Amino acid sequence: MGKIIDALQQALPLLGVAANVTAASTSNIFAVPDSAWKSLNDSVSGRLHLASPAGLPCFTSYESAWGLDANAPNAAQCQTVKSGLSTSLDIISRFGGYHNPTFSTCMRRGQKCTLTATEGIRNDTCFQGTVPDYYVDAQSVEDIQKSLQFAQQYKLPVTIKNTGHDYRGGSAGVNTFAIWTHNFAPDPVITENFTPDECPSPVGPVVTYHAGQIGTHLYNSLQGTGYMIVAGSCPSVGPSGGWVAGAGHGIFTPSFGLGVDNVQQMKVVLPNGTYVTANRCQNQDIFFALRGGGGGTFGVVTETTTKLHPDQEYSYAFVQLPVTDVRGANEVLVANAERWSEEGWGGVYGVLDVAGSPNLVWLGYNANLNLDEGKASLKPVTDYLEALPGSENLVSIFKTLPNQITAQNDPVLLSILLPEAGVSLTRSSRLVPKKNFQTADGQKALVDALMENKFGWGAVIASPTNYTLAESDQPGGPGESSVSPAWRDSIWHLTYTTTWDPADPVATTPEALASMFQEMSEAMDPIRAITPGAGAYQNEADVYEPDPIGSFWGEKNYARLLAIKKQLDPDNLLSCWNCIGWNVNDERHECYLNVRGIGPSN
Ligand SMILES: Cc1cc2nc3c(=O)[nH]c(=O)nc-3n(C[C@H](O)[C@H](O)[C@H](O)COP(=O)(O)OP(=O)(O)OC[C@H]3O[C@@H](n4cnc5c(N)ncnc54)[C@H](O)[C@@H]3O)c2cc1C
């Protein structure tokens, strides 16, 4: 008898015993007969598992959905989990691991199973939190079809989890049945002159990759082929998962378009278990929804086929200096923002907190400018910094990078992204339109608003400012995507960020978390006030974004997305926080806090 069946057999009898614990649950997950779970397990080749938080081996008791019980800690397993606490690839390799661990905890009840790097076995309770109760480790289209057919039969709330990077907890959910796509990752395949199914003509070179593929493997697979691709800056984000579902930006999106603009075809298992192909020639509604409508909502994407571009050399700039005159630094960055966007820079700049003091940081990659042009482009900022006291500490690196892989592996870029692993973090986003930069009054208003925030700021320069959207992808066209139209006329994806230790007992009380989320959300209000009608990037947004519909999709896209959602998933089996068609009082969201009047009322 397999280990999984043993585990299932140990757990399933608890259904009756712990009926009082689950009585408050409305999830149909507890009404599924044991025999049905067992036959699902058989149909997915033994890949059905009971889910537990990654930290469980370090605790002496465990409160799962079936109640509180003693837990036999395992020192060796505990040590293994602890040693990978802040290693992205380690975290994503565990179903119960979340890049942003707070979203696996029950924030509302202060219940968690998070670990510190120093503590060993803890005489304490590990809580299930928002970690789903069961998951299928899906490794084929058939596994996903069987799982969704099963969910349909028993009307189960479904969570889709890939890497667990989501900043708003989309890949977790209380008392849900999860489909884990991380291990569905065969090698990417290049096709030199691809014709999307049912389309009349080829679209050129593409690469096809599956649901569990991560950025770094995709980039590595293209090394030496002469091609480059638009994917995320973070090496471990899933380009076929939440990244593309939300829009998908990276260091080259200004010149080559957003992730959604580059997709040529997607394959998806719909909530009713049917497997369909979506592209510009068939299932255009689904193609629209999967590219911008948000992850975890319309089906499980199994593979994505994306355009390849000829690789080339890129100009690189990295400039950094601590600054005391924050207003002056803000002014120089705001004054030159439009120029930099027109010149095609991608990357990030801003006045960020570095080791407790404000630093002007400018990190960019450019496919259009040569080295001298790159230096000239940044002269306003380097001149400004060279004239400051302390300029002997100025870091100013300009060079030519030979190809995309060198840019994606840039140690400076990775030093910004990788420390996020295992840290709890929340952000706020605003897509700041070009027009805000075009007048002296507009620039002053922007600087004033930036000065009001206490978190420091980073402007991700990722809008497709140097990219012409194909006729087919214009509004009303067969390749239209559902991302906020604000992406098309913004210069900045402005972000504020704050972090905390997910195991810190003080920082993780419901009150402390609520006030921190509220502060982060309200910090963006002055920028919202001067950018009416603009948007926000749903994948890196405020958990309590006050206008999710207007900001993430715009009213027109939202109306179409909602109609598609109702047609594909009338029972709302697939859902997540602030996703199309969601219900804030759905049990799966019960661990969220109530902040700014947004949150579960039960
Ligand atoms: C360190 C870090 C760096 C980042 N860098 C970037 C960046 O450079 N550019 C950028 O645009 N974003 C970036 N992001 C944000 C990222 O795009 C989102 O977190 C995204 O949701 C991650 O998707 P995932 O599939 O990897 O993660 P998950 O958390 O597993 O999934 C995210 C959402 O997508 C859904 N989902 C996952 N797989 C599928 C599927 N196959 N079918 C349908 N739904 C699915 C899930 O249900 C969930 O709602 C970054 C995030 C982090 C933490």
- Ligand 1 centre and the CA of 544: distance in Å? 18
- Rounded-to-integer distance, Cα 231 and Cα 306, Å: 10
- Ligand 1 centre and the CA of 241: distance in Å? 6
The answer on pLDDT for 234 being more than 70 is: yes
Output the CA torsion sign for 86, 164, 89, 44.
positive
Q: What residue spans define the domains of the chain?
A: 3-180, 189-310, 314-552
Least trusted range by pLDDT, from 15-19, 419-423, 537-541, 546-550: 15-19
The answer on pLDDT for 2 being more than 70 is: no
pLDDT digits (tens, 9 = 90+) for 281-327: 999 999 999 999 999 999 999 999 999 999 999 999 999 999 999 99
Q: CA Rg, the chain, in Å?
A: 24
How confident is the model at residue 259, as a pLDDT?
98
Half-sphere exposure of 586 (CA within 13 A, CB side): 25
238: its two tokens: 């899933």
- The DSSP bridge pattern shows strands 59-64 and 134-137 to be unpaired
Residues in the ligand 1 pocket, defined by CB under 6 Å? 99, 160-167, 170-171, 181, 211, 232-234, 237-238, 240-243, 245-246, 248-250, 295-296, 300-301, 417, 420, 539-540, 576
Q: What is the mean pLDDT of residues 521-540?
A: 98
How confident is the model at residue 13, as a pLDDT?
36
Strand partners, 310: 227
The answer on pLDDT for 252 being more than 80 is: yes
Ligand 1 atom with the shortest distance to the CA of 92: 30
Q: 314-552 maps to which CATH number?
A: 3.40.462.20
- Ligand 1 centre and the CA of 541: distance in Å? 12
Nearest Cα neighbor of 169 from 108, 248, 101, 232 is 101
The answer on pLDDT for 147 being more than 50 is: yes
Put the strands of the sheet holding 457-461 in their side by side order: 395-401, 314-322, 357-366, 345-354, 457-461, 490-500, 424-433
Q: Assign 602 a pLDDT band (cuts: 50, 70, 90).
A: low
pLDDT digits (tens, 9 = 90+) for 4-23: 344 554 444 333 333 334 44
Please give the ipTM for the structure prediction. 0.99
Express as a percent the part of the chain with pLDDT over 90.
91
Instruction: Give the length of the chain.
Output: 602
Q: Assign 24 a pLDDT band (cuts: 50, 70, 90).
A: confident
**Contact (Cβ atoms closer than 8 angstroms) between residue 168 and residue 136:** no
The answer on pLDDT for 455 being more than 50 is: yes
Nearest Cα neighbor of 486 from 441, 445, 547, 543 is 547
How confident is the model at residue 25, as a pLDDT?
83
Residue from 162, 408, 540 whose mutation best tests the ligand 1 pocket (most atoms within 8 A of CB): 162
387 DSSP assignment: T
How confident is the model at residue 119, as a pLDDT?
83
Q: What is the mean pLDDT of residues 502-523?
A: 95
Mean pLDDT computed over every residue of the chain: 94
How confident is the model at residue 488, as a pLDDT?
97
Q: Which fold has domain 189-310?
A: 3.30.465
pLDDT digits (tens, 9 = 90+) for 83-106: 998 899 999 999 999 999 999 999
